[in-house]
Amino acid sequence: MSASKRKLRYGMVGGGRGAFIGAVHRCAAYIDGQADLVAGAFSSEAERAKASAEDLFVAPNRAYGSYKEMAEKEAKLPAGERLDFVSIVTPNHQHFPPAKLFLEKGFNVVLEKPATFDLAEAKALKKIVEKTGKVLVLTHNYTGNVMVKQARELVRSGHLGDIRKVVAEYPQGWLSTLAEKGDNKQAGWRTDPKRSGAAGCIGDIGTHAENLARYITGLEIDSLCADLTTFVKGRKLDDDGNILVRYKGGAKGLLHASQISVGEENALNIRVYGTKAGIEWHQEHPNQLIVKYPDKPTEIWGRGNGYISDGLKKFTRTPSGHPEGYLEAFANVYAEAFRAIRAEVSGKKQPKDLDFPTIADGVYGMAFIETTVKSSKLGAKWLKFPKL
């Protein structure tokens, strides 16, 4: 049956019981009834892998003990049963190996951010994507929010004039103590340089702020000066970072992220100021976009209204005033992924208007992490952003 006439089939690597982001991916993939989870290598622990498969109604014969087994066996299934794509939701150090393998075995891939463990891996992965011609979607989910997309439209259409200043911030408070010493699985791997990579806070959430700023403004970083800190004694990676940014073309920016900003939940915010207008968006109140002017009242643009750009209306599921949230934005990334994957598995050309983060964004993000960490280690010295 044509991929446009049926639900897509996917498998998951990671995301077993107790995981956070795996459940988010599943909700995002499920919500529109466009895909079914039919296989998984949910955990390296056999017991947990099995239990997870039961929870998720995955048939025992497609609940694998490892992603390698899954890649091998699924690759041999007939076309009518074979997975259309794989979602990889493991910790960072386990992104590249399965992504490489599944791409090379002919599967499309949805990959949790940050793309890889380090920049070299990201560049290698980019080459593999190009070589295999498969779809790779990186889930920088915040760019799936329709009001973020509207913000980008306002920038692109010249509503803001020339961009002068960008303030991107992402304060959280959940790592204000040494949570990794206890049984907090999330805290454990995210603060472990062997699993997380060169950066803690900056890799985990700073990259979201970077991605959001670049998505909305289109600006590229010329140079940056980063002052990363590990506030909690005994922690191995940064848990806070303050970064000055100079963009190509003359705009200036501030980007700060923190996991010790006690009492903050998930306060990703961005403000962009141009010559004509400014915008402000708060992830915790994602249905509104604030637009400010020099000489007229501040406007609150609300998701779902008639004045939202026509091309963006497909990214909204409920009428105005019926709030959408984190999962719906995440699901918008999946919805675009589905368009690309349906085209790929049907042997059609990719649509030209696809709107999701790619491995190129992943490479950029890894370069951001590396440059930031290097700047900080040099005493918060200005560094040119590398050519990619």
209 binds a second copy (CB under 8 A): no
Closer residue to a second copy, CB minimum distance, 234 or 263: 263
Question: Tokens at residue 313, please?
Answer: 């209306």
Q: Which stretch binds a second copy (CB under 8 A): 78-86, 120-128, 213-221, 297-305?
A: 297-305
385 binds a second copy (CB under 8 A): no
- Options 82, 302, 343, 374; binder of a second copy; rule CB under 8 A: 302
Closer residue to a second copy, CB minimum distance, 57 or 78: 57
Closer residue to a second copy, CB minimum distance, 239 or 355: 239
- Options 48, 159, 246, 374; binder of a second copy; rule CB under 8 A: 246
Output the CA angle 29-32-35, nearest 5 degrees: 45
- Options 301, 315, 338, 385; binder of a second copy; rule CB under 8 A: 301
Closer residue to a second copy, CB minimum distance, 19 or 101: 19
| Contact predicate 103/109, CB 8 Å | yes
The answer for 9, left when phi > 0, alpha when psi is -120 to 50, beta otherwise, is beta
292 binds a second copy (CB under 8 A): yes
Q: Which stretch binds a second copy (CB under 8 A): 86-94, 95-103, 291-299, 355-363?
A: 291-299
CA distances from 262 to 141, 176, 356 (A): 24, 6, 32
323 binds a second copy (CB under 8 A): yes
Q: How many residues bind a second copy (CB under 8 A)?
A: 90
Q: Which stretch binds a second copy (CB under 8 A): 41-49, 96-104, 241-249, 337-345?
A: 241-249
User: x/- contact string, 27-66, with a second copy (CB under 8 A)?
Assistant: x--xxxx---x----------------x-xx---------
82 binds a second copy (CB under 8 A): no
Name the DSSP letter for residue 244.
Answer: E
- Options 73, 181, 311, 318; binder of a second copy; rule CB under 8 A: 318
108 binds a second copy (CB under 8 A): no
- Options 131, 298, 346, 351; binder of a second copy; rule CB under 8 A: 298
For CA atoms 114, 116, 118, 124, give the dihedral sign.
negative
Give min distance, CB of 41 to a second copy, in A: 17
Length of the chain measured in residues: 388
Closer residue to a second copy, CB minimum distance, 125 or 245: 245
Q: Which stretch binds a second copy (CB under 8 A): 21-29, 76-84, 109-117, 363-371?
A: 21-29
The long-range contacts involving 382-388, CB below 8 angstroms and separated by at least 24 positions, are: 382/223, 382/224, 382/225, 383/223, 383/224, 383/225, 384/222, 384/223, 385/220, 385/221, 385/222, 385/223, 385/224, 388/123, 388/363, 388/364
180 binds a second copy (CB under 8 A): no
Burial of residue 55 (CB within 10 Å: 0-12, 13-18, 19+) is exposed
Name the DSSP letter for residue 352.
Answer: T
The string of DSSP codes covering 272-292 is EEESS-EEEEETTSTTEEEEE
Residue 385, number of CB atoms within 10 A of its CB = 19
Closer residue to a second copy, CB minimum distance, 90 or 258: 258
| Contact predicate 228/199, CB 8 Å | yes
